[in-house]
Chains A and B, each alone.
Chain A
C-alpha cells in the first residue's frame, strides 16, 4: 500500500507542470486569477493549445487522436491543471459527445466529427433535459419522426449550457412512441444548430448570468445519417455519456486548489482587519471541509487504482458525484463567508473583460456570492444528488 508515483509518472508530472507553467497565455492566466469571465474565443484558444500538444482528448483512446493515458496520468494532469488554475475545458464536445461518437458512431461519423471536436473547431451543446423531463429524463417528449431520409424534430430542450455559442447539439429524442418502457424508443441524434427551425432562448440564472438556454425545435429536418448507433438505443448511449459526465464532476483537484488558496488568503489582513485565521469558528469550518476533501481525494485514488489494475471500480466510485458537489458547495460557502459585507455588492461587470470603472472590494471578493449562487446547480445537474442516491441504493446496496 503506497501512494507514491513511479519515476515515469514523476517525469510525466514534470512535463505537465512545465506545460501549464509556460503555455497558458498571459491574458488568459490573468483573467483566471482575477475571476474575469473567459470569452468563447479564449476557451477555444486554450483548448487548441492543448490540442497542439496532443492533450485535448485526455480520456480518448489513441486511435481517435486521444492521449491514451492511464488513470494515474489523468489524475496527475487534472491535479496540475487545477494547480495552475487553467481554464476548465468545455466538456460538451471533448468529454461528452466525443466518447459517444467513437464508441457507438459509424465510421463516417467518426471521420466527420471527431477531428473537429479534438481541434475545438466546433462548439457542441447538450440536449437532454426538457421542461417536463428533469430527473425523469426518460419521459422526454421531443419527437423525431422519420420522413423519407430525414428526421423531423419537434420539441423543446432546456438547461442547455452555453448553447448560445454552439454550432451543434447532441440530443436524446423519441423516435418511437409505441413502446412498453419509456426508456425504449429514444434515439441519440446530432443536430446542426443552423438548421431552419432551431431557436435559442436565453434563461438567466440567479446570479444574473446568461449561461443556459431553452432550445426550440420547430419541424427541424435532420438527415438520417446524423443518428448515432441504432435507432431506439439512445437511452443506453446517454447513460454511458452521463457516466463520463459524473466521473468528471467530483472536481477534487479544483476543490483542493481552492481550499489551499483560501488557507493562504486567511493569513492576510484585508483592509486592515484581523486576519480571518484568528476566527476560530471559521477555521474549524474550513478544517472540516479539508478533512472531507482529503477523504474524497483518496476515494478517487482508490477508484483510479482499481481501474488501473483492470478491476471495475468499487462502490467508492459511486459516491464521487454526490460528495464532490457537496464539497464544492461547502467551499463556495466558505469563500462567501470569508468575504463578509463584500460578498454583497452586485457588481458582475467587474468580471467582464472590458471593465474600466471603479472596482469594489478586494480581488474576487464580490465574486464569492455569485459563485455560491451559481454552483447551487452542481447538486442538481448531471442527475440531481437525490437521483444519484436512488441509483446507488438500487445498484450498489441492492435495495
Chain B
C-alpha cells in the first residue's frame, strides 16, 4: 500500500505547481479567459513543450504512457490554478478517442499535432436532446459511395469554437439510444456544412453548438469500426469525468484554504470571524469534504488505472461526491466570505463557478447516484 507519487509523477506535479505559482496568478487567468480565443496560445505551447499534453498517450503514440493516476495529478493542479487552457477538450476528449480508435495514419494526422500543441481539437460528446445519455445520438451519417454524409446537431462542444477538428459520434444504424450503431468521425471544422455557434460558459470557459448540414467526409475520417464507436466514446467520457473530478478536488482544496485564511483575517464584533463556533464547525465540515474527496479520488484513479471491474462505479462515486459534498463546500466558501464572496472581483466566486459547472458535466450527481443505486 502506497499513496505517494512516483518519481515521474513528483516531477510532473512539481513543474505544474511551479507554473501555477509563478506564471498563473488569478489576474493572469482572468486576462486569458477574457481574451480571444478564451485561453493563452502561448501557455498552450508551453504545456506542449513541457510534455504535459503527451502524458496520457502510449510511447508508440509519442506519449509518456501515463494512466489515470497521472491524469489526476495534472488535473488536480489545473483545478488549483483554475486553468482555462483546453486540456480537457484536446488531450482528454479528442485525444482519448483518437488513442483508442485511430489507425497509424490517423494518429499521425491528428493525434501527433494535438500532442504537439499545433492542432486544436474537441469531441462532440452530447446532443441537445440527449441530456446525459451518452448513446442518445440522432445525428446521422449516411454512406455515399466511399464518402459519408453527416447531418444533425451537437450541443455543448467544449472549446468547439476554436477547434480545427471535432470528433463527431454519429448514428450509422440502430435506434436513437442504441449503443450499437454509433460511429466516430473526424470532422475538420472548415468542412462545408459545419456551423458553430460559440459562446462563453458560466465558468469563464468556452463551448459551442454545432450543426452538421450535409457535411461530407471520406472513409479516412472514420475512427475505428463502423457501428462500434460507443465503447471508445464511453471510456473516453469516463476518463474525462475522472479528470474533471480531480480538477474539482483541486478547486475544493483552494476554496477550503481561502475560506479558513479569510476567517482569520476578517474581523467583526472586534474578533476574527474564525473564532465563532458557528463558522468553525462548518469549516471543519469543509476540511472533511476535502479529505473524503481526495481519498475517493485516489481510489477512483487507481481503480481505473488498474482496469478493475468496479472502475465505472469508482468514476460515478467520485462524480457523485464532487457534485454533492463539493457543491456544498463551494456554497459554504461563498457564504463565509460574506458579501465579498458574491463579487466578480474575488477569485472565490470563480472557483465556485467552475465547481458548479463541473457538477453539470458528464452526468450530474443524481445521474451518477442512479448508476450506483442500480
Partners in one complex: yes
Residues of A within 8 A of B (CB): 1-5, 72, 280, 283-284, 286-288, 290-292, 294-299, 301-302, 304-306, 308-309, 315-316, 319, 322-323, 386, 389-390, 392-393, 396-399
Do A302 and B3 contact each other (CB < 8 Å), given the known contacts A3-B302, A389-B280, A393-B283? yes
Assembled-state Cα–Cα distance A302/B1 (Å): 9
B292 to A305, Cβ gap below 8 A? Answer: no
Query: Is B321 close to A, CB under 8 A?
Result: yes
A288 to B296, Cβ gap below 8 A? Answer: no
Which residues of B are found within 8 Å of A305, using beta-carbon distances?
1-4
Assembled-state Cα–Cα distance A284/B321 (Å): 13
Q: Which of A295, A308, A396, A398 lies in contact with B293, CB distance below 8 A?
A: A295
Q: What string of 1s and 0s marks CB contacts (under 8 Å) between B255-288 and chain A?
A: 0000010011000000000110100110111011
B295 to A393, Cβ gap below 8 A? Answer: no
Which residues of A are found within 8 Å of B301, using beta-carbon distances?
1
A291 to B296, Cβ gap below 8 A? Answer: yes
A393 to B374, Cβ gap below 8 A? Answer: no
Q: Which of A2, A4, A288, A315 lies in contact with B291, CB distance below 8 A?
A: A315
Band of interface residues on B: 35 or more
B298 to A291, Cβ gap below 8 A? Answer: no
Do A319 and B291 contact each other (CB < 8 Å), given the known contacts A72-B1, A288-B320, A305-B1? yes
Which residues of B are found within 8 Å of A290, using beta-carbon distances?
317, 372
Q: Nearest-CB distance from B47 to chain A (Å)? A: 23
Q: What string of 1s and 0s marks CB contacts (under 8 Å) between B1-20 and chain A?
A: 11111100100000000000
A4 to B295, Cβ gap below 8 A? Answer: no
Of residues 311 through 327 on chain B, the ones whose CB sits less than 8 Å from some CB of chain A are 317, 320-321, 324
A392 to B284, Cβ gap below 8 A? Answer: yes
A399 to B374, Cβ gap below 8 A? Answer: no
Do A5 and B1 contact each other (CB < 8 Å), given the known contacts A298-B296, A390-B277? yes
Which residues of B are found within 8 Å of A288, using beta-carbon distances?
320, 324, 369, 372
Assembled-state Cα–Cα distance A191/B283 (Å): 41
B1 to A298, Cβ gap below 8 A? Answer: no
B372 to A287, Cβ gap below 8 A? Answer: yes
Which residues of B are found within 8 Å of A301, using beta-carbon distances?
1, 3, 295
Do A298 and B298 contact each other (CB < 8 Å), given the known contacts A286-B373, A315-B291, A397-B284? yes
A393 to B317, Cβ gap below 8 A? Answer: no
B287 to A292, Cβ gap below 8 A? Answer: no
Which residues of B are found within 8 Å of A299, using beta-carbon distances?
291-292, 295
